[in-house]
Amino acid sequence: MRDDLRGYVLDRLGDAAGVLAADETGFLKKGTRSAGVQRQYSGTAGRIENCQLGVFLAYVSPRGRALVDRELYLPRSWTDDPQRCAEAGIGDEVGFATKPELARRMLQRLLAAHGHQAVPWFTADEAYGDNPGLRAWLDEQNLNYVMAVSCDQRFATPTGPQRADQLAAAAPRRGWQRLSAGDGSKGQRLYDWLLLDPGADQHHLLVRRSISKPSELAYYICHANQPVPVAELVRVAGSRWGIEETFQFAKNETGLDHYQVRRYDAWYRHITLSMLAAAFLAVTAHTERARTASKGAPQAASTS
């Protein structure tokens, strides 16, 4: 069903401007028996809570967005306890994997089934952008990506490694562009952007500056197979918000977080069914928009 879901989304919502986004979301729980549960930071709650964490891959395109893969994060408190795992239906073959490793696993599945043409771009937040293993794998696969990184992330330069914030501070004042990172709940997400080429490898540094608070900066590491305009990199960076909106939609409309199951396999079943329902709604909405647009388009002149 997971594979069918992924193929369904790529077939119906696939677009040359599509972006794959990885992120995790929390599922608040009570007790200690639900697979993978422990006290850990949940972005959903904005604090440390007793919860499960699911790592997801979403497809975001102009046609719509939908979750296409999922993995339950199992902390070492679980994978180091075989008896606890067995009671929750977690097999001996399931070992510990970091969140970036789970994201890579999902990307590998997608590449194996659909090829590189299905992954025009990949994006993720700092938890993934700061991970050297994931970045190295993406480079080996020659995939285009724009990932957020911490201010202390080092970039190779002709004079040696330098931090992202150091490169931004030394950059010329000219060169900033005011661009939108996409539509938000309050209109266009406008920021000032600056693209820097450290000059020692194939990676670029994209810097985002708040318009109302110029001292607030965010940093992105970028890799592209060919030169692309800054506006394209900004579009990809902004696509990451799409997965957060998809989480909210699936939780509100198809019960992504409305479950009482405890076992490992039951979690995957519920989550996959919820993802499928949400994908159906996304595809249906796109189909209806396209049908309405075609009805409103001027009729072609008759040649008879």
pLDDT in tens, the chain (304 residues): 999 999 999 999 999 999 999 999 999 999 999 999 999 998 877 899 999 999 999 999 999 999 999 999 999 999 999 999 999 999 999 999 999 999 999 999 999 999 999 999 999 999 999 999 999 999 999 999 999 999 999 999 999 999 999 999 999 888 899 999 988 777 899 999 999 998 878 899 999 999 999 999 999 999 999 999 999 999 999 999 999 999 999 999 999 999 999 999 999 999 999 999 999 999 999 999 998 888 875 554 433 3
pLDDT at 301: 43
Burial of 293: CB neighbours in 10 Å, binned 0-12, 13-18, 19+: exposed
d(C-alpha 155, C-alpha 113), whole Å? 33
d(C-alpha 181, C-alpha 189), whole Å? 5
Are 114 and 289 a contacting pair, CB within 8 Å? Answer: no
Please report the DSSP string for 81-96 in residue order: -HHHHHHTT--TT---
pLDDT at 201: 83
Q: Pick the closest to residue 27 from 257, 296, 295 (CA basis).
A: 257
d(C-alpha 272, C-alpha 276), whole Å? 6
Mention the CATH class of domain 2-145+232-288. alpha beta
**Average pLDDT of the chain to the nearest whole number:** 94
d(C-alpha 57, C-alpha 290), whole Å? 25
pLDDT at 95: 96
Are 146 and 206 a contacting pair, CB within 8 Å? Answer: yes
pLDDT at 295: 80
pLDDT at 298: 56
SS3 (DSSP) at 48:
strand
d(C-alpha 210, C-alpha 213), whole Å? 5
| CA distances for 262 relative to 32, 87, 99, 270, angstroms | 9, 10, 21, 11
| Domain ranges within the chain, ordered by starting residue | 2-145+232-288
pLDDT at 28: 94
Torsion of CA 211, 217, 223, 228, to 10 degrees: 20
Are 47 and 41 a contacting pair, CB within 8 Å? Answer: yes
pLDDT at 172: 86
